[in-house]
């Protein structure tokens, strides 16, 4: 390695350390890091990206030397675009226009992207993002280049941690002994500090409420060309990865609506694979209802403070539990036993995904007495005998464990061949009796929740999601 190249590394790292202590915005700091990294190894461009909350997409937080069109060509899928980086590897791509690990080879060719060097950004041993270098000509990166890029990646991880710490301190966090709650940090630093229009900010808050992952203005679509150059582009406001859906919001100004309709029609003609919708607020509420998130006619359900688990999250977890149960009971016949009424939603979904013969039976119970002296009474017994049969007790939620403990003793008295417990929710913080839980969907905090079969005074069972509930908020609503 030449002394000049070593000097370049040193100067770049010194510049990164300097900008890290500046009062620049997070975006400008990472842009500066990208510039220093590209300059140090003689690359034409650099981008720094972090994984989204689901670790499915790479979200850009800084870049240098790359066109806006290339950066916004489409969200990068982490498991398709150089996936080895997720395993902590430094990856060299000799020719990006011919490598199947590059998602958009034609665009790379048009943008004169040839060689790529990618390194993982790791936090506490886990990959949280990556940094990539790009060259216009075929380029062979040295070991020194790779080691330098890893150093820049480590500094990027430290910069993100610093950014999150500043957000933490700025939000009024008072430590473990204080009164303020630990704030929720954003999944990535891509989320804009301000939106182009208040309706976009309201829309983003609604998406966050329902825990729907979103990207803001992630891709620009060329619509018109003249003399070989792009003269018109269209950038949808949002992209929802879970639904592979682009969304453009409309306003009340008819002239703007007409123009957006024209652009959307043109986009669909040129890019038929792109799923895009032009929505106003009411349109979006209807869309939410279609996907099982909210009730038609209202953005938020009165009394719900926040969504713990969306409909899709619940369904994914139920399917995973069903696969595990099916493996464990392979070759056996199973009896599912549930206590009415809260179990109905979970039991119905779970049994649909079991790949073995099952029968279903229900019990009903009531309580009398108060506090620790409260007792359980069975008001509806099982319809069929469970003696000598494999029984799976299916619960919607286990908190103190007292009711479940009583029911398990009752079932064991009937001498089943085996008896296990599957619960969707485990509120471990309230446990008074140690009961065995063989299959658990989610562990939840010590808060009152409703939805997906769980009720408050007989209502809210039909909500397709599970959310924390505050009666006083329902009364205000």
Torsion of CA 428, 430, 436, 438, to 10 degrees: -30
**Angle 228-229-235 from CA coordinates, rounded to 5°:** 135
Distance CA 78, CA 87 (A): 11
**Angle 417-338-313 from CA coordinates, rounded to 5°:** 110
> Please, what is the angle between helix 143-170 and helix 3-20, to 10°?
10
Which residue has 């009720």 as its token pair?
455
- Spatial strand order in the sheet of 466-469: 304-309, 466-469, 449-450
Distance from the Cα of residue 265 to its chain's centroid: 30
Query: What does 54-118 look like in DSSP terms, one character per residue?
Result: TS-EEEEEEEES--HHHHTSSPEETTTSSGGGGGT--EEES-TTT-TTSS-HHHHHHTT--EEEE
Does residue 308 contact residue 184 with C-beta atoms inside 8 Å? no
Which residue in the list 399, 426, 434, 438 is annotated as catalytic? 399
399 annotated active-site:
yes
Residues 6 or more apart in contact with residue 304 via CB below 8 angstroms: 450, 451, 463, 467, 468, 469, 473
Residues 6 or more apart in contact with residue 159 via CB below 8 angstroms: 20, 26, 29, 30, 33
Does residue 214 contact residue 239 with C-beta atoms inside 8 Å? yes
Question: Sign of the C-alpha dihedral, residues 442, 444, 450, 456?
Answer: positive
| E strand or H helix at 208 | helix 198-209
Distance CA 344, CA 440 (A): 17
CA distances from 359 to 351, 352, 384, 407, 415 (A): 9, 12, 10, 19, 17
Query: What does 266-296 look like in DSSP terms, one character per residue?
Result: HHHHH-TT--EEEE-HHHHHHHHHHTTSS-T
Catalytically active residues are: 399
């Amino acid at each position: 390695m030449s002394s000049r190249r070593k000097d370049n590394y040193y100067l770049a790292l010194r510049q990164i350390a300097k900008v890290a202590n500046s009062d620049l915005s997070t975006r400008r700091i990472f842009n500066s890091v990208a510039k220093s990294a590209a300059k140090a190894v003689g690359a034409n461009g650099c981008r720094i990206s972090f994984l989204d909350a689901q670790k499915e997409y790479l979200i850009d937080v800084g870049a240098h030397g790359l066109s806006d069109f290339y950066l916004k060509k489409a969200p990068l899928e982490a498991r398709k675009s150089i996936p080895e980086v997720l395993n902590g590897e430094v990856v060299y791509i000799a020719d990006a226009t011919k490598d199947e690990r590059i998602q958009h080879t034609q665009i790379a060719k048009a943008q004169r992207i040839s060689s790529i060097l990618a390194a993982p950004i790791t936090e506490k041993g886990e990959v949280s993002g990556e940094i990539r270098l790009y060259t216009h000509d075929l380029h062979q990166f040295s070991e020194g280049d790779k080691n330098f890029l890893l150093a820049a990646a480590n500094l990027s991880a430290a910069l993100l941690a610093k950014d999150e710490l500043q957000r933490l301190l700025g939000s009024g966090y008072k430590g473990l002994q204080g009164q303020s709650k630990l704030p929720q940090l954003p999944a990535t630093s891509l989320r804009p500090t301000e939106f182009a229009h208040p309706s976009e900010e309201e829309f983003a808050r609604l998406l966050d409420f329902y825990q729907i992952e979103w990207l803001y203005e992630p891709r620009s679509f060329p619509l018109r060309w003249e003399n070989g150059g792009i003269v018109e582009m269209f950038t949808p406001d949002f992209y929802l990865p879970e639904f592979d859906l682009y969304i453009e919001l409309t306003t009340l100004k008819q002239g703007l609506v007409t123009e957006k309709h024209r652009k959307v029609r043109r986009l669909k003609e040129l890019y038929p694979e792109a799923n895009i919708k032009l929505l106003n607020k009411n349109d979006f509420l209807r869309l939410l209802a279609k996907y099982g998130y909210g009730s038609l006619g209202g953005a938020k359900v009165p009394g719900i403070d926040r969504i713990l688990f969306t409909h899709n999250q619940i369904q994914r977890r139920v399917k995973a539990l069903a696969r595990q149960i099916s493996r464990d009971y392979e070759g056996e016949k199973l009896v599912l036993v549930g206590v009415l009424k809260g179990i109905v939603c979970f039991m119905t979904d779970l049994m649909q995904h079991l790949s073995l013969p099952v029968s279903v039976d229900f019990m009903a119970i009531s309580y009398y007495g108060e506090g620790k002296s409260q007792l359980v009474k069975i008001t509806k017994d099982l319809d069929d005998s469970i003696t000598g049969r494999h029984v799976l007790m299916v619960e919607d939620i286990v908190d103190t464990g007292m009711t479940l403990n009583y029911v398990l003793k009752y079932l064991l008295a009937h001498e089943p061949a085996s008896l296990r417990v599957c619960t969707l929710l485990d509120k471990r913080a309230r446990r008074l009796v140690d009961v065995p839980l063989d299959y658990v969907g989610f562990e939840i905090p010590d808060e009152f929740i409703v939805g997906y079969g769980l009720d408050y005074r007989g209502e809210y069972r039909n909500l397709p999601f599970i959310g924390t509930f505050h009666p006083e908020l329902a009364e205000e609503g």
